[in-house]
Amino acid sequence: MNLANLQQKLTAAARHQAPDDRVPYAFEKRILALVAARAAVSGRVLWARGLWRAAVSCVVLAVVCGAIALLTPARPDSSNDLSQEFENTLLASVDQPEATP
Amino acid sequence: MERSETELIAAVLRGDRDSFEPLVAKYSPRVFATARRYARRESEIEDIVQEVWLKAFDKLGSFRGEAPFEHWLMRLTVRTCYDFLRGHQRNREYSFSEISEPEADWLDRFVTDPDSASEEAAAAKQLIDRVLEKLSPEARMVIQLLEIEDRSVKEIAQLTGWSVPLVKVRAFRARGEMRKILLRITKDKYL
């Protein structure tokens, strides 16, 4: 069998086949409705996307802060604590025992 | 008074969605005819055309008006059809047992006397449809555009976005692929 000839015949058969260009009834209305629906949705989607991004950022920030707080070892010796020293200095006059008359 | 295409496109870009309707009404027959070359089921064809128009609406801003709107739209259509083919690759195995009786009769006629097997016969059309379905998406696209629609390599390159050398390579491979499928169909019975 001549395959090249068969190939040519079948290609010619496809060429004879006129493409059907029927369009379903009111197809353009359907497209317009879809376009309108997408436009309405896209406004809401933009808002939702922005809010989700903000929420995710907040959660990430909270997790990072939590992790830092948990992983930072507590100092057993509080004498070097700057806040403690500051407090001691500030309240030094109050903490001093009253002088005996 | 009827507005020109350029006016309609400009109106759509300004936000007047209703101006898109005349464009859809005018070019849908052409888009449907193209989609019917690549898909069989009417639901699939409608999905393709719908996607083409939604893409056209979204990308209308990229239409520069240097070439006719129809050319721009056909490029979009062909590329959407190609995406469809790639997404719907069915079982491409093929054997003689799959073909229908009229198709087998047409092949018998072709074997005994090639001139008596008319290319206008419905069986020949069914057979080529089956063969095209078994081709890879690239091969089908090239065979359809080059051999069936008789387009030039340059035109195909513009429509598909492939380079001219790539179209030539794919055309060469596509012919080979088609011959292989025909060989697989016929070898059980005739070879």
Q: Do B79 and B161 contact (CB within 8 A), yes or no?
A: yes
Report, as an integer, the average pLDDT of B66-94: 87
Say whether pLDDT at B84 is over 70.
yes
Mean of the per-residue pLDDT values for chain A? 83
Name the band, by pLDDT with cuts 50, 70 and 90, for residue A67. Answer: very high
Query: Which pTM does this prediction carry?
Result: 0.74
**pLDDT in the model for residue B188:** 67
Touching B: A residues 29-68, CB under 8 Å: 29-32, 34-36, 38-39
Average pLDDT, chain B: 88
Secondary structure class of B150 (helix, strand, coil): coil
**Domains along chain B with CATH numbers:** 1-88 (1.10.1740.10), 92-191 (1.10.10.10)
Q: Is the pLDDT of residue B163 over 90?
A: yes
> B17 to chain A: which residues are within 8 Å by CB?
32, 35-36, 39
Mean pLDDT for B60-79 is 91
pLDDT digits (tens, 9 = 90+) for A17-65: 878 899 999 999 999 999 888 877 767 778 888 999 999 999 999 999 9
Please compute the mean of the pLDDT values over residues B148-163 and round it to a whole number. Answer: 94
Instruction: List, as ranges, residues 110-149 from B with C-beta within 8 Å of A.
Output: 110-111, 114, 117, 119-121, 124-125, 127-129, 131-132, 143, 147-148
Residue B96 has pLDDT above 70, yes or no: no
* ipTM metric: 0.80
Q: State how far the Cα of B96 lies from the Cα of B183, in Å rounded to an integer.
A: 10
Give the model's pLDDT for residue B92: 59
Q: Which amino acid is at A11?
A: T
Stretch A1-22: mean pLDDT, rounded? 86
Average pLDDT over residues B122-127: 87
CA diameter of chain B: 66
From A37's Cα to the closest Cα of chain B, the distance in A is 11
In this model, does residue B97 exceed pLDDT 60?
Answer: yes
The CA distance from A101 to B78, in Å, is: 104
Residues B75-100: what's their mean pLDDT? Answer: 81
A8 Cα distance to chain centroid: 55
Band of the pLDDT at B158, cuts 50, 70, 90?
very high
Residue whose structure tokens are 């070359």: B37
Phi (first) and psi of residue B52, to 5 degrees: -60, -45
- Across the A/B interface, how many CB contacts are shorter than 8 Å? 104
Best to test chain B binding among A2, A3, A5, A11 (most B CBs inside 10 Å): A11
The reported pLDDT for the residue numbered B80 is: 96
The predicted pLDDT at position B115 comes to 80
Contact B12, B60 (CB under 8 A): yes
pLDDT digits (tens, 9 = 90+) for B27-58: 999 999 999 999 989 999 999 999 999 999 99
Q: Span B46-73, mean pLDDT? A: 92
Quickly list DSSP for B37-74.
HH--SHHHHHHHHHHHHHHHHHHGGG--SSS-HHHHHH
Dump the DSSP string for chain A.
--HHHHHHHHHHHHHHSPPP----TTHHHHHHHHHHHHHHHHHHHHHHHHHHHHHHHHHHHHHHHHHHHHHSPPPS-GGG-HHHHHHHHHTHHHHSPPPP-
